[in-house]
């Protein structure tokens, strides 16, 4: 195998430079650890940005995907396939939603959700100038529609006119939402827990107020659960803790635990009033391989109570991070739910993350001054202790 330095140099010659990558070439995973091509071991506190909820090398998951590869990988949405039919029914059951559209990614799920909200409004008045209220500091994806409702001006500025008319409000600030409401508003989109924007959980009172506004105005409420869903906060989906049901919900990341798959789910009312045949489509979305992965994930979640484990281990992670924050004057805030947490520092965290990488722990940030914690949901208390000891040493 080529040396790590040589592989990185080749990648920089051949790949489009849209990522500032860690200078590591990963080779394999086992449990909650990753190994680079030189054999160095890393405790994974990133899980592929919240994707590998079950850790690495889960035999049941791997066998299910291998079996489907030998049977049928892809067909077309002009035909039915059994894995997709089964996965849709099971997603409805665990989410309490009514209709499912499978996509290839979270960004595509957001695209479909936005189209559904706009079409719902168009069906009522035939107008083409509807607006979506989105939150500052939000992140919904890099495709044009998802980018249009991503609340970071620096991400949008180079790309000109956006395809969605967005108005901006602040998470947990109802007055800011009411200030931009108009007769052109067709939907409100919010991450139930903001991820890239700094790990900001939406408050129950805020979500209930959004639900009331949408009901009164007959507009659609969209919850983006791409990062915070699939058990990460201790509930299957983060909104379920409060029982504030959206009209549309997006999911991806841990839905396929590494196999590219996402979905947006709708209530019957939202589905019946929006997208019909010809309005939306996807070549790969809902193919048998991806949906076999979804079914395997849901099997394991049910059998091993993965959301319950995340709630219990998340409480332990919260305790240990609270202790660390109390002992470190440079930590100014600790936020999050379950196994989705952030420590905010009074300075940039890049050097701390680099030190931790050298010592065998992989972290990711959420803004320049926040270390984000997104471990596999199978992380143990002993591994959390291991991480805390290394992080404390890196901070000192």
What span, in angstroms and rounded, lies between the C-alpha atoms of 376 and 59?
A: 16
Domain end, chosen from 248, 275, 304, is at 304
* Domain residue limits at 247: 72-304
Domain end, chosen from 237, 271, 304, is at 304
Collapsing DSSP to helix, strand or coil, 153 comes out as helix
**372 φ/ψ angles, rounded to the nearest 5 degrees:** -100, 140
Instruction: State whether 37 and 160 are in the same domain.
Output: no
The predicted pLDDT at position 1 comes to: 67
Instruction: State whether 297 and 310 are in the same domain.
Output: no
The number of residues in the chain equals 396
What span, in angstroms and rounded, lies between the C-alpha atoms of 286 and 301?
A: 20
User: Does 385 map to a domain?
Assistant: yes
The DSSP element (H or E) to which 50 belongs, if any, is helix 47-50
Instruction: State whether 30 and 101 are in the same domain.
Output: no
Collapsing DSSP to helix, strand or coil, 338 comes out as coil
Collapsing DSSP to helix, strand or coil, 23 comes out as coil
Instruction: State whether 239 and 277 are in the same domain.
Output: yes
Number of structural domains in the chain? 2
Instruction: State whether 204 and 279 are in the same domain.
Output: yes
Residue carrying structure tokens 């999911």: 251
The DSSP element (H or E) to which 392 belongs, if any, is helix 381-395
3-state SS track over 200-252:
EECCHHHHHHHHHHHHHHCCEEEEECCCCCCCCCCCCCHHHHCCCCCCEEEEC
Instruction: State whether 180 and 315 are in the same domain.
Output: no
User: Does 67 map to a domain?
Assistant: no
User: Does 64 map to a domain?
Assistant: no
Collapsing DSSP to helix, strand or coil, 135 comes out as strand
Q: What is the CATH number of the domain that holds 146?
A: 3.40.640.10
Q: Is 190 exposed, middle or buried (0-12, 13-18, 19+ CB in 10 A)?
A: buried
What span, in angstroms and rounded, lies between the C-alpha atoms of 236 and 53?
A: 12
pTM, rounded to two decimals: 0.97
Strands 364-365 and 262-266, sheet pairing: unpaired
Instruction: State whether 288 and 346 are in the same domain.
Output: no
What span, in angstroms and rounded, lies between the C-alpha atoms of 115 and 276?
A: 11
Rounded to the nearest 10°, the torsion over CA 161, 163, 165, 166 is -90
Count helices and strands (H / E) in the chain: 14, 17
Closest by CA to 60, choosing from 299, 221, 263, 314, is 299
Are 177 and 210 spatial neighbours (Cβ–Cβ below 8 Å)?
Answer: yes
Q: What is the CATH number of the domain that holds 312?
A: 3.90.1150.10
3-state SS track over 177-203:
HHHHCCCCEEEEEEECEECCCCCEECC
Instruction: State whether 123 and 160 are in the same domain.
Output: yes
Instruction: State whether 329 and 281 are in the same domain.
Output: no
Instruction: State whether 50 and 124 are in the same domain.
Output: no
What span, in angstroms and rounded, lies between the C-alpha atoms of 45 and 139?
A: 20
Collapsing DSSP to helix, strand or coil, 147 comes out as helix
Residues paired with 340 in a beta bridge:
337
Domain end, chosen from 304, 320, 351, is at 304
Biggest alpha carbon–alpha carbon distance for the chain: 62
Burial pattern 240-269, b for ≥16 Cβ within 10 A else e, equals: bbbebbbbbbbbbbbbbbbbbbbbbbbbee
Strands 262-266 and 99-103, sheet pairing: antiparallel
Instruction: State whether 242 and 206 are in the same domain.
Output: yes
Taking only the tens of pLDDT, the chain with its 396 residues reads 689 999 999 999 999 999 999 999 999 999 999 999 999 999 999 999 999 999 999 999 999 999 999 999 999 999 999 999 999 999 999 999 999 999 999 999 999 999 999 999 999 999 999 999 999 999 999 999 999 999 999 999 999 999 999 999 999 999 999 999 999 999 999 999 999 999 999 999 999 999 999 999 999 999 999 999 999 999 999 999 999 999 999 999 999 999 999 999 999 999 999 999 999 999 999 999 999 999 999 999 999 999 999 999 999 999 999 999 999 999 999 999 999 999 999 999 999 999 999 999 999 999 999 999 999 999 999 999 999 999 999 998
Closest by CA to 377, choosing from 285, 308, 320, is 308
Instruction: State whether 298 and 322 are in the same domain.
Output: no
DSSP 69-119: HHH-S---TTS--HHHHHHHHHHHHHH--SEEEEESSHHHHHHHHHHHHHH
User: Does 160 map to a domain?
Assistant: yes
């Amino acid at each position: 195998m080529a040396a790590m330095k040589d592989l990185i140099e080749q990648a920089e010659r051949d790949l489009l430079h849209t990522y500032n990558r860690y200078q590591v070439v990963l080779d394999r995973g086992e449990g909650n650890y990753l190994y680079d091509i030189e054999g160095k071991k890393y405790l994974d506190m990133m899980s592929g940005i919240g994707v590998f909820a079950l850790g690495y090398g889960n035999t049941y998951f791997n066998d299910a995907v291998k079996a489907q590869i030998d049977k049928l990988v892809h067909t077309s949405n002009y035909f039915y396939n059994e894995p997709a039919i089964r996965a849709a029914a099971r997603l409805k059951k665990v989410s309490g939603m009514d209709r499912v559209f499978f996509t290839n990614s979270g960004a595509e799920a957001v695209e479909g959700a936005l189209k559904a909200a706009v079409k719902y409004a168009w069906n009522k008045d035939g107008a083409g100038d509807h607006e979506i209220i989105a939150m500052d500091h939000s992140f919904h994806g890099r495709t044009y529609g998802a980018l249009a409702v991503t609340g970071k001006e620096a991400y949008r500025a180079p790309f000109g006119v956006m395809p969605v008319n967005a108005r901006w409000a602040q998470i947990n600030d109802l007055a800011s939402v009411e200030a931009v409401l108009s007769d052109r508003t067709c939907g409100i989109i919010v991450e139930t827990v903001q991820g890239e924007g700094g790990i900001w959980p939406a408050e129950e009172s805020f979500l209930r107020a959004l639900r009331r506004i949408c009901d009164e105005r007959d507009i659609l409420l969209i919850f983006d659960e791409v990062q915070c869903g699939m058990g990460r906060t201790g509930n299957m989906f983060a909104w379920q803790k409060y029982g504030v049901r959206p009209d549309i919900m997006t999911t991806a990341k841990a839905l396929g635990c590494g196999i590219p798959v996402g979905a947006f789910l709708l209530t019957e009312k939202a589905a019946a009033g929006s997208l019909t045949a010809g309005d939306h489509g996807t070549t790969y979305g809902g193919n048998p391989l991806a949906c076999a992965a979804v079914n395997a994930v849901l099997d394991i979640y049910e059998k091993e109570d993965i959301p319950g484990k995340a709630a219990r281990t998340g409480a332990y992670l919260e305790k240990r991070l609270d202790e660390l924050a109390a002992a470190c004057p440079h930590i100014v805030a600790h936020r999050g739910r379950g196994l989705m947490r952030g420590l905010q520092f009074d300075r940039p965290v890049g050097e701390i993350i680099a030190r931790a990488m050298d010592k065998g722990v992989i972290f990711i940030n959420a803004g320049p001054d926040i270390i984000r914690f997104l471990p596999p949901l199978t992380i143990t208390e002993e591994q959390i202790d291991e991480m805390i000891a290394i992080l404390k040493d890196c901070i000192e």
